[in-house]
Amino acid sequence: MDIRRKQPMGVELVKKGIVKESDIERALQFQREHPSMKIGDILYALDVCEPTVLINAIADIVGAKGILLTNNLIKINIEDYLPKDVAKNNKAIPFDVSDGKIKVCFPNNIEMKKMENIRRLMLNRGLILDPYVTFSQQIDKILASLDGNVSEEITKSGNSDSTSITELVDNIITTGIERRASDIHIEPLQDEVRVRYRVDGELYVAATIKKNKQQQLIGRLKAISNMHQEKQESQDGRITTYENYNIRVSSQPNIYGEKFVLRLLKKNTDIRSIFELGYPGDDESVRKSFNKKNSITIIAAPTGEGKTTTLYSIIDFLNRPEINITTIEDPVEIRIRGLNQIEIGPKATFSNSLRTVLRQDPDVVLVGEIRDIETAEIAVQAGQTGHYVLSTIHTIDSIEVINRLRKMGVSDYDIGSILATCVSERLIRRVCPHCKREREFSAQEKEIMTKLMERYGETINFEGKKTYDAVGCDYCNNTGFYERIGIFEILDITDDIRELIVNGASNLEIRRKALALGYRPLVVDGVRKVLDGVTTLDELNNKLLLY
C-alpha cells in the first residue's frame, strides 16, 4: 500500500472524474468548519457520489483495495488477531483470513507508520497483510462497538475462579436490564458459553464464559426459575426476584448442553398511546377501525414485532368505566387498572377460558392469540353474539389473515360477516437522537423510494426532506439506533371486500380491491417514516427486503 501521492486527494479525484471541482470547493469549506476531517471522509459525508465508487477511487489512488466495511463483513474475532488497544491506536480492523493472508481495513487517511506497525505484527503471526481502506466513520463505529458489544464485567466474572456462580448470573441479568435488552440468550457452544442480548430487535454478543462453568450456570438458572434440576428437557420457568421485572425463562437442550432464553418483562409499564407506537391516522380513524361491536379485529405480524403492545394500546384507548373488558393472555405481560385479566396455563387454554369469559357479560374480549380452529370458532361466535373481540395471528401481512383463518377451517361466510379490521405491523429501529448525522437524500435513495411509492399510486415531494446517518455513541451502545417504532398497514373490511371474502375470492383479488379502496401495505408507512427522519432507508430495507 503506497499512501504517498504527488497531488492532493481532491485533485486526484477530480482528474479521475469521480467528483467535480465544485464538490471539492464545498468539501474545503466544510473542512474549515471541521478541521479534523480529511477530504475523503468529507466527500462521503456530503454524499457527492455513490460511496462504493468513491472509496474504490480513493483506494486506487493510495494503492489499496476499497471496501464499505460493516460488522456483518467481519468473519473473524478482531481481538484474536489484534488486542483491542492496538486496533484502536492504529485504527486497524482485521476482518478475514485465508491462504496465509489477513485482510485488514484502515481508514482512507491512514498513516504509513501505523500501517507498517500492523504489517510487522501480522508477519510475527505468519500472516501476510492484505490492506483495504474504508471511510474513517466506519472504522470508528466498529472500533467503538468493541466496547459496546462486550461486557467486561461479565467476561471477567465468567472466567474468574473467585467469582461465585450467583454473582455471575446476577451480572448477566442486571447488565441486560441496564442495556434495555428484551431477551438474554445463554448458549452452550463447543468450547465456551456465549451470552447474547437482544436490544431493539438486534442480537449481539455480550460476553463469553469458560466451559467449565456451564453446569453450575445451568444449575443456578434452573434453581431461580423453579425448574426441575434433574430434567434434561425443554422447560419453562419464571424469575421474580428482580424489582420491577417479571422474567420468563425457557430452556432447550442442544448438542452442547442446555440453552436458556430469558425474556425481560417490565412490571407496571405505562401503556403508550397507539400514536406513540407509530400508528398512522388520528382519533377518528382509530375509532373507525377499533370502536366496534359484533366483530373481530386482528393484529398480524411475526413473533417479536409488537402485536401485544399494539393490543394493549387499543385496549387502553377503549377502556372506560362503562365497558366491561376481559383479556385472556399467555402470560399477562402488563397489568392494567380496570381490566379483568386472565392468565392461561396447563389447565386453562385460550378456548376453555374464552367459553367461561362469555358467561361473564363482557363488552370487549382480548384473546392473546388465535392458534387453532377451536379458539377461532369461539371468537367468531363471540363476535356474532354482540361482543367486540381483539386478537393476534402470526401472518406476514393483513390480507393474509383471511387466508390463515380459512386454513384453520373458519368458513368464508363467518370470516366475511365478522372480520372488521386487520392490522399488520413491523418494528424498525429509530435513529439515535444524540449522534445522528443529517444529510441530503442521495439520488439512488430518491429513485428507490419514488419507485416504491409509485407502485401504490403515491407521490413524494423531497423538498425540505432530510435523512440521517446512524453514527453510534455511548447513549445508543454505538449502534446508531435507539428504541423502535412501528410501521403499519390497515385493512378495513368494507362491504366490497366482505362480498369478495364470502364468495371465496383469492387473496390476490382481495388485495387488488383493497388497494383501489385506499389500503396501503407496510412499505408505504415505512417510506413515510424515512421521509420524516425517524429511521433510515437501509433500516427499512433490512426489515422488509425491498431491494
Q: How confident is the model at residue 532 (pLDDT cuts 50, 70, 90)?
A: very high
Q: How far apart are alpha carbons 12 and 17 in whole angstroms?
A: 9
Between 152 and 546, the higher pLDDT residue: 546
146 confidence band (pLDDT: 50, 70, 90): low
Pick the CATH number of 283-544 from 3.40.630.10, 3.30.1330.120, 3.40.50.800, 3.40.50.300: 3.40.50.300
Section 482-501 average pLDDT? 95
Model pLDDT, residue 152? 59
Residue 167's φ and ψ, nearest 5 degrees, are: -65, -40
Q: Which CATH class is domain 9-144?
A: alpha beta
The answer to whether residue 157 scores a pLDDT higher than 70 is: no
Q: How many helices (H) and strands (E) does the chain have?
A: 22, 19
pLDDT grade for 155, boundaries at 50, 70 and 90: low
Identify the three-state secondary structure at position 455: coil
User: Residue 426, SS3?
Assistant: strand
- The more confident residue out of 23 and 493 is 493
Task: Please state, in angstroms and rounded to a whole number, the distance separating the CA atoms of residues 152 and 140.
Answer: 20
Lowest mean pLDDT among 12-16, 142-146, 497-501: 142-146
Residue 3 — very low, low, confident or very high, per pLDDT cuts 50/70/90?
Answer: very low
| Nearest one of 137, 8, 92, 126 to 473, comparing CA atoms | 137
Residue 150 has pLDDT above 90, yes or no: no
Angle at 66 (CA atoms; ends 47, 134), nearest 5 degrees: 60
pLDDT for the residue 502 = 96
What per-residue confidence (pLDDT) applies to 153? 61
pLDDT value of residue 4: 45
Query: What is the reported pLDDT for 145?
Result: 65
* pLDDT for res 389: 93
Higher pLDDT, 6 or 472: 472
For residue 508, the model assigns a pLDDT of 94
What does the domain layout of the chain look like in residue ranges? 9-144, 149-266, 283-544
Q: Mean of the per-residue pLDDT values for the chain?
A: 88
With 60 as the cut, is the pLDDT of residue 518 above it? yes
Mean pLDDT over residues 385-403, rounded? 93
Amino acid at 109: N
How confident is the model at residue 160, as a pLDDT? Answer: 67
Give the pLDDT of residue 359. 87
71-80 per-residue burial string, b: 16 or more CB within 10 A, e: under 16: eeebeeebee
On the question of pLDDT at 71 being above 60, the answer is yes
pLDDT tens, residue by residue, 170-179: 999 999 998 8
Kindly state the average pLDDT of the residues 149-155.
Answer: 59
Average pLDDT over residues 422-438: 92
161 pLDDT band, cuts 50/70/90, is low
Q: How many residues does the chain have?
A: 547
Q: Give exposure, 426-465, as e/b (b: 16+ Cβ within 10 Å).
A: bbbbbbbeebbeeeebbeebeebbeebbeeeeeebeeeee
The average pLDDT across 54-81 equals 84
**Alpha carbon distances (Å) from 311 to 237, 272, 294, 408:** 25, 11, 18, 22
Confidence band (pLDDT; 50, 70, 90) for 151? low
Segment 300-319 mean pLDDT: 90
| Architecture of domain 149-266 in this structure | 2-Layer Sandwich (3.30)
Q: Which helix (H) or strand (E) holds 65?
A: strand 65-66
Position 386 scores a pLDDT of 87
User: Using an 8 Å Cβ cutoff, are 234 and 263 in contact?
Assistant: no
Cell 426476584 identifies what position? 241
- Mean pLDDT over residues 213-232, rounded? 92
> How does pLDDT run across 272-299, given as a tens digit for each residue?
889 999 999 888 888 888 877 889 999 9
Residue-level pLDDT at 337: 81
